[in-house]
Amino acid sequence: MSAAPDRHDTFARLLHWSMAVLILAMLFIGVGMVASITLRPTLLALHRPIGIALLVLAVVRLVHRLRRRTPELPRDLPGWQRAAAHASHVALYALMLAMPLIGWAMVSAAGNPVLLWDDVQLPAIAPHDPAVYSVLRAAHAWLARALLAVILLHLAAALYHAWIRRDGVFASMAGGRGGARSG
């Protein structure tokens, strides 16, 4: 079997950074939507199509991830940090898929059209039912908080690798020179 690569490939890096920007934007758009009645219609019109685009990108990314070898973590990294890295990546993938699906189901359960733009509309994926809506609405808000918490931990870990350990883990996703992993 060939050796593990030093860095994530270009497509994986492109997906990682474009999705990171869009997911962070979606968290702010979501909060803005519930905080401002005036901005709500405009923000909601952005939130739905960007959210569905993120669902498609998350599926493409997961398929790409499962088909390729990714860089290995440095050999001297403590076991608990390896486990934390693995668990947080699994949680990020799960939340990247769950958030848009729950959003879509929630709008369906509210009995509203899942409009992407003008007259492009997705089918309902949940029954029109206030009780189902209420559960999905709470799940969408709580999982958004969980997503933000995992992203902040992930950011802290990335900066720990970049600035303290300087072991090539950050460069493997950032691109450019110096991607070789040490340890």
Which residue ranges make up the site for ligand HEM (CB under 6 A)? Answer: 12, 16, 20, 23-24, 26-27, 30-31, 33-34, 47-48, 51-52, 54, 65, 71, 73, 85, 89, 92-93, 96, 99-100, 103-104, 107, 114, 137, 140-141, 144, 147, 151, 154-155, 158, 169-170, 172-173
List Cα–Cα distances, 18 to 124, 152, 169, in angstroms: 28, 17, 19
Task: Please report how close the Cβ of residue 78 comes to ligand HEM at its closest, in angstroms.
Answer: 14
Report the alpha-carbon distance of residue 80 to residue 94 in Å, rounded: 21
Residue with nearest beta carbon to ligand HEM: 30
Task: Please report how close the Cβ of residue 161 comes to ligand HEM at its closest, in angstroms.
Answer: 6
Cβ pair 49, 116 in contact under 8 A: yes
Q: Which helix (H) or strand (E) holds 62?
A: helix 40-67
Task: Please report how close the Cβ of residue 1 comes to ligand HEM at its closest, in angstroms.
Answer: 19
Cβ proximity to ligand HEM, 71 vs 126, nearer residue: 71
CA angle 9, 59, 5 (to 5 degrees): 20
Cβ proximity to ligand HEM, 33 vs 126, nearer residue: 33
Cβ proximity to ligand HEM, 99 vs 126, nearer residue: 99
Q: From the CB of residue 8, how many other CB atoms can be counted at a distance below 10 Å? A: 21
Q: Is the dihedral of CA 140, 144, 150, 154 positive or negative?
A: positive
Task: Please report how close the Cβ of residue 158 comes to ligand HEM at its closest, in angstroms.
Answer: 4
